[in-house]
């Protein structure tokens, strides 16, 4: 493997994302096509470095650092895809701070414990309990992607509501999707995340029972916050489909769900906890 | 640069005079043909509701077209006597006409600064002139460059940002809330004339259905027939409100017809999402306190007018940037134009030297007949060619570096005289 590839650090892609965000903000203040291209260039460079890092470094997805860096990578892909397909929208202004926030949190929790299994390798060669542990982790991580996308949509929604409430002139300032489209994006993200979260939890519970862990192990912050996340989602879905709540209420509850997700990701792993973030 | 623009616009000529001077369809083609034939020049006619302008260009060797004559032509062509109407003509020549066109196309000279139609109208005027073969190299280069100016002003400044008509602004707000309209219901309350244009814009969105409520069932049926909608009884207004996504209200009611309490009752019955209410009635039909920007977005005529003013103010902030683009592009155009003007003189200079070189070389070969091998002949030819190139390099480079100045080609004239290129 070339030496340069192994030299890629968190700083490389984080700095690229910071520059991309700076270009996006500059574009917002004084729109010119060049800033858009520069933002895409820096964002693309950051994503490349991030991808190399994820592939080359043995990320421990059970540890907060690995899980957060991996989640940030998926959202960086989401950012890059969105920036190309929705070039006229202020996409990066919403997604990049989230990506950077996750990377920052990962750095802050870099010394957290985790097991030393190679997550991807375990998932790709299904054998016994370790496979189920990896599957449990993958499901929860993908649910995390859905929740993060829901978070971005909710922030966009609240900004758009603020603009409408203040009756700001349309066509000026940042370009956003319509309320209807943002709400649809949030709805899809929640519908994507909930089954994955539920399946991940079921696999996790089954693993805990199979391992015969004691009652006190169920009190681990990671397990409690993940169950809390599931409950928030259940309320979210009830509000949406049970009492047909719309708009701001749903957006705010999605923000709460994201906060609980961060708590779950940042929580240390209990020694009895097998695989998964 | 023998360029001239003669015209009148909204600033100093009343609409009734502009109407009489306007060119449409076959008359425009006829005028272009006559201008080309009568004055022997390239011509483009820009005729919009706010201005009538004729752009003319002539080969440099001839005299510039006369502005007075063109103004007379305009009146004569439209059969207007001098004493009948007195348009306030303006005219610009040379570089001033380039700047004028660039300001027009960047919509800096428009009634509403930043309006988007003028660039298309200028393009259309140029294309029509091109179809009539009235455009030559000068106006072709000028109008092609004008397109660059229009694009730069639109994309690099905020001069065209946002809409400024009340009906377009209303639809802009609707678009900020909704993404697709095939499943939306539009409710029209009342039959005020003010709402006609807005209703037309809303109809263009192709909503699922349009409901019309009016105190007079006949009037409701009439409006519904006109917009392809369905009339609903006035006493079923709350039901209609409960199922509507977009409400356009234009009644002449002296007091609000939907109070806050009534709206709360309607909201309790609604199962849909956000509703956008465009209350363009005076006095207002909806209590303004119902607006929350989430479930209910209410915009009344004052809001829309205020936003129109804000948009215009915001556009005003970008005028200086657009003017800077005009100035920059005018310099670029002039530089390019100057370069193009040098092409014939450079070609002539090169041709002239080439011919002289060949004569001298042939004379030399005849004199040294039999004494030179092929290699020697080739060497001598190469040496003379090198001498020619080195000799011409100075004047040609100096021409290329000459600072473009309108109608002043000192170096070019000097070269013509020095090398007797006219003869």
Please tell me the predicted confidence (pLDDT) of residue B338.
78
Confidence of residue A173 (pLDDT cuts 50, 70, 90): confident
Please tell me the predicted confidence (pLDDT) of residue B298.
95
Q: How many CB pairs under 8 A join A and B?
A: 79
Given a cut of 90, is residue B40 above it in pLDDT? no
Please tell me the predicted confidence (pLDDT) of residue B102.
96
Please tell me the predicted confidence (pLDDT) of residue B260.
94
Return the residue matching tokens 């993200």. Answer: A189
* CA A25 – CA B39 distance, rounded (Å): 55
Lookup: tokens for A127 = 């054998």
Please tell me the predicted confidence (pLDDT) of residue A271.
55
Task: Tell me what percent of the residues of chain A surpass a pLDDT of 90.
Answer: 34
Nearest CA to B89 out of B159, B158, B6 is that of B6
Which residues have a Cβ under 8 Å from the Cβ of A82 and sit 6 or more positions away? A89, A91, A92, A95
- Which carries the bigger pLDDT value, residue B86 or residue A85? A85
Given a cut of 70, is residue A116 above it in pLDDT? no
Q: Which of A167, A247, A251 to mutate to test the interface with B (most CBs of B within 10 A)?
A: A167
Which residues have a Cβ under 8 Å from the Cβ of A121 and sit 6 or more positions away? none
Q: Given an 8 Å threshold on Cβ–Cβ distance, is B293 in contact with A165?
A: yes
Q: Residue B307: closest CA among chain A residues belongs to which residue?
A: A169
Name the minimum distance, in Å, from the CA of B124 to any CA of chain A: 27
CATH code 3.40.50.720 region(s) in chain B = 166-313
Please tell me the predicted confidence (pLDDT) of residue A270.
57
Q: Does B307 touch chain A (CB under 8 A)?
A: yes
Q: Given an 8 Å threshold on Cβ–Cβ distance, is A170 in contact with B156?
A: no
Please tell me the predicted confidence (pLDDT) of residue A4.
75
Given a cut of 80, is residue A244 above it in pLDDT? no
User: For A156-163, what is the mean pLDDT?
Assistant: 93
C-alpha gyration radius of chain A: 20
Q: Given an 8 Å threshold on Cβ–Cβ distance, is A180 in contact with B180?
A: yes
The pLDDT tens digits of the residues spanning A204-240 come to: 888 878 777 666 666 777 788 888 888 888 888 888 7
Please tell me the predicted confidence (pLDDT) of residue B422.
62
* CA A233 – CA A191 distance, rounded (Å): 10
Residue of B173, B178, B291 lying closest to A170 (CB–CB): B173
Return the residue matching tokens 């299994």. Answer: A117
The pLDDT tens digits of the residues spanning A58-75 come to: 777 767 788 889 899 999
Phi, psi of A91 (to 5 degrees): -65, -50
Least confident residue range of B87-101, B182-196, B252-266, B276-290 = B182-196
Is the CA virtual torsion B172, B173, B176, B178 positive or negative? negative
If phi > 0 it is left, if psi is from -120 to 50 it is alpha, else beta; for residue B59 that is: beta
* CA A246 – CA A259 distance, rounded (Å): 20
Confidence of residue A77 (pLDDT cuts 50, 70, 90): very high
Please tell me the predicted confidence (pLDDT) of residue A115.
47
Please tell me the predicted confidence (pLDDT) of residue A159.
94
**Torsion angle of alpha carbons A87, A93, A97, A98, nearest 10°?**
-60
Contact present, A183 and A247 (Cβ < 8 Å): yes
Answering whether pTM is above 0.95, one says no
Please tell me the predicted confidence (pLDDT) of residue B395.
81
Task: Tell me what percent of the residues of chain B surpass a pLDDT of 70.
Answer: 95
**CATH classification of B2-161 is 3.40.630.10, yes or no?**
no
Residues of chain B contacting residue A164, judged by C-beta atoms under 8 Å apart: 173, 176-177, 293-294, 297
CA distances from B199 to A138, A148, B207, B210 (A): 52, 40, 11, 10
Is the CA virtual torsion A23, A154, A74, A187 positive or negative? negative
State the SS3 of chain B. CEEEEEEEECCCCCHHHHHHHCCCHHHHHHHHHHHHHHHCCEEEEEECCCEEEEEEEECCCCCCCCHHHHHHHHHHHCCCCCCCCCCCCEEEECHHHHHHHHHHHCCCCCCCCCCCHHHHHHHHHHHHHHHCCCCCHHHHHHHHHHHHHHHHHHHHCCCCCCCCCHHHHHHHHHHHHCCCCCCCEEEEECCCHHHHHHHHHHHHCCCCEEEEECCCHHHHHHHHHHHCCEEECHHHHHHHHHHCCEEEECCCCCCCCECHHHHHHHHHHCCCCCEEEEECCCCCCECHHHCCCCCEEEEEHHHHHHHHHHHHHHHHCCHHHHHHHHHHHHHHHHHHHHHHHHHHHHHHHHHHHHHHHHHHHHHHHHHCCCCCCHHHHHHHHHHHHHHHHHHHHHHHHHHHHCCCCCCCCHHHHHHHHHCCCCC
Mean of the per-residue pLDDT values of chain B: 88
Half-sphere exposure of A258 (CA within 13 A, CB side): 24
Please tell me the predicted confidence (pLDDT) of residue A93.
92
Alpha carbon A186 to chain centroid distance?
14
* CA B42 – CA A273 distance, rounded (Å): 85
Confidence of residue A275 (pLDDT cuts 50, 70, 90): very low
Given a cut of 80, is residue A57 above it in pLDDT? yes
The verdict on whether B227 is a catalytic residue reads: no
Residue of A172, A180, A247 lying closest to B162 (CB–CB): A172
Q: Residue B269: closest CA among chain A residues belongs to which residue?
A: A244
End-to-end CA distance of chain B: 23
Q: Which of A134-138, A206-210, B173-177, B253-257 has the highest mean pLDDT?
A: B173-177
Q: What is the largest CA-CA distance in chain A?
A: 61
* CA A147 – CA A141 distance, rounded (Å): 10
Q: Does B384 touch chain A (CB under 8 A)?
A: no
State the SS3 of A238-273. HHHHHCCCCCHHHHHHHHHHHHHHHHHHHCCCCCCC
Alpha carbon A125 to chain centroid distance?
26
Q: Given an 8 Å threshold on Cβ–Cβ distance, is B274 in contact with A162?
A: no
- Domain positions in chain A are 1-116, 125-277
Q: Given an 8 Å threshold on Cβ–Cβ distance, is B273 in contact with A246?
A: yes
Instruction: Return the CATH fold of B166-313.
Output: Rossmann fold (3.40.50)
Confidence of residue B169 (pLDDT cuts 50, 70, 90): confident
Please tell me the predicted confidence (pLDDT) of residue A111.
67
Lookup: tokens for A263 = 């708590």
Q: Given an 8 Å threshold on Cβ–Cβ distance, is B158 in contact with A160?
A: no
Q: Which of residues 101-140 of A touch B (CB under 8 A)?
A: none
Least confident residue range of A116-120, A148-152, B8-12, B94-98 = A116-120
Q: Does A87 touch chain B (CB under 8 A)?
A: no
Q: Does A166 touch chain B (CB under 8 A)?
A: yes
Contact present, B244 and B185 (Cβ < 8 Å): yes
User: For B91-104, what is the mean pLDDT?
Assistant: 93
The pLDDT tens digits of the residues spanning B303-350 come to: 888 888 888 888 899 999 999 999 999 999 988 887 777 777 788 888
* CA A252 – CA B342 distance, rounded (Å): 68
CB count in 10 Å sphere of residue A205: 14
Contact present, A5 and A54 (Cβ < 8 Å): no
Given a cut of 60, is residue A122 above it in pLDDT? no
Please tell me the predicted confidence (pLDDT) of residue B423.
47
Supply the ipTM of this predicted assembly. 0.79
Q: Given an 8 Å threshold on Cβ–Cβ distance, is B297 in contact with A164?
A: yes
Please tell me the predicted confidence (pLDDT) of residue B403.
62
**Torsion angle of alpha carbons B288, B290, B296, B302, nearest 10°?**
0
């Amino acid at each position: 493997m070339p030496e340069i590839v192994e030299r890629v650090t968190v700083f490389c892609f984080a700095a690229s994302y910071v520059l991309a965000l700076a270009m996006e903000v500059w574009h917002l203040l004084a729109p010119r096509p060049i800033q858009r291209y520069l933002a895409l260039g820096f964002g693309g460079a950051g994503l490349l470095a991030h991808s190399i890092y994820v592939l080359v470094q043995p990320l421990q997805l059970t540890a907060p650092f690995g899980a957060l860096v991996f989640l940030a990578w998926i959202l960086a892909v989401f950012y890059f895809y969105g920036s190309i397909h929705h070039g006229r929208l202020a996409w990066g202004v919403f997604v990049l701070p989230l990506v950077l926030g996750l990377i920052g949190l990962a750095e802050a929790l870099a010394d957290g414990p985790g097991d030393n299994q190679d997550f991807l390798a375990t998932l790709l060669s299904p054998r016994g309990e370790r496979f189920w542990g990896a599957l449990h982790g993958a499901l929860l991580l993908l649910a995390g992607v859905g929740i993060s996308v829901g978070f971005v949509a909710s922030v966009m929604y609240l900004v758009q509501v603020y603009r409408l409430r203040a009756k700001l002139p349309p066509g000026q300032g940042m370009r956003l999707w319509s309320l209807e489209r943002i709400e649809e994006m949030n709805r899809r993200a929640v519908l994507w995340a909930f089954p994955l979260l539920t399946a991940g939890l079921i696999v996790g519970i089954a693993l805990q029972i199979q391992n015969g862990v004691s009652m006190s192990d169920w009190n681990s912050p990671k397990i409690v916050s993940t169950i809390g996340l599931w409950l928030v989602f259940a309320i979210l879905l009830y509000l949406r489909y049970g009492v047909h709540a719309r708009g701001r209420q749903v957006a705010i509850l999605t923000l709460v769900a994201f906060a609980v997700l961060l708590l779950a990701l940042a929580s240390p792993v209990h020694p009895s906890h097998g695989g998964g973030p | 640069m023998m360029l001239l623009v003669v015209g009148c616009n909204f600033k100093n000529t009343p609409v009734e005079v502009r109407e009489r001077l306007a060119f449409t369809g076959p008359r425009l083609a006829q005028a272009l043909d006559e201008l080309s034939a009568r004055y022997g020049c390239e011509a483009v006619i820009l005729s919009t509701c706010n201005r009538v302008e004729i752009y003319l260009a002539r080969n440099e060797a001839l005299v510039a077209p006369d502005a007075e004559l063109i103004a007379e032509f305009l009146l004569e062509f439209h059969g207007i006597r001098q004493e009948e109407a007195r348009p306030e003509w303006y005219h610009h020549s040379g570089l001033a006409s380039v700047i004028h066109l660039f300001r027009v196309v960047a919509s800096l000279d428009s009634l509403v600064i930043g309006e988007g139609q003028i660039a298309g109208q200028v393009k259309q005027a140029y294309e029509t002139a091109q179809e009539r073969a009235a455009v030559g190299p000068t106006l072709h280069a000028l109008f092609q460059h004008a397109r660059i100016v229009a694009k730069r002003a639109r994309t690099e400044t905020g001069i065209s940002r946002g809409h400024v008509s009340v009906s377009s602004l209303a639809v802009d707000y609707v678009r900020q809330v909704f993404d697709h309209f095939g499943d939306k219901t539009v409710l029209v309350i009342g039959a005020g004339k003010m709402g006609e244009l807005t209703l037309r814009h809303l109809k263009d969105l192709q909503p699922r259905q349009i409901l019309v409520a009016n105190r007079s069932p006949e009037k409701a049926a009439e409006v519904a027939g006109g917009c392809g909608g369905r009339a609903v009884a006035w006493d079923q207004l709350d039901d209609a409100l409960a199922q509507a996504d977009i409400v356009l209200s234009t009644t002449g009611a002296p007091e609000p017809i939907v109070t806050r309490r009534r709206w709360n009752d309607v909201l309790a019955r609604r199962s849909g999402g956000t509703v956008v209410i465009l209350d363009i009635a005076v006095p207002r039909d909806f209590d303004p306190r119902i607006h929350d920007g989430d479930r209910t977005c209410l915009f009344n005529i004052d809001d829309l007018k205020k936003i129109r003013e804000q948009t215009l103010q915001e556009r005003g902030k970008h005028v200086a940037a657009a003017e800077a683009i005009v100035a920059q592009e005018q310099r670029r155009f002039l530089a390019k134009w100057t370069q193009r003007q040098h092409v014939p003189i450079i070609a002539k200079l090169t041709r002239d030297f080439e011919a002289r070189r060949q004569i001298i070389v042939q004379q030399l070969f005849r004199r040294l007949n039999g004494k030179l091998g092929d290699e020697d002949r080739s060497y001598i030819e190469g040496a003379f060619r090198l001498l020619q190139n080195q000799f011409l390099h100075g004047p040609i480079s100096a021409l290329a570096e000459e600072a473009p100045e309108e109608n002043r080609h000192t170096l070019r004239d000097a070269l013509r005289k020095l090398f007797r290129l006219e003869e």
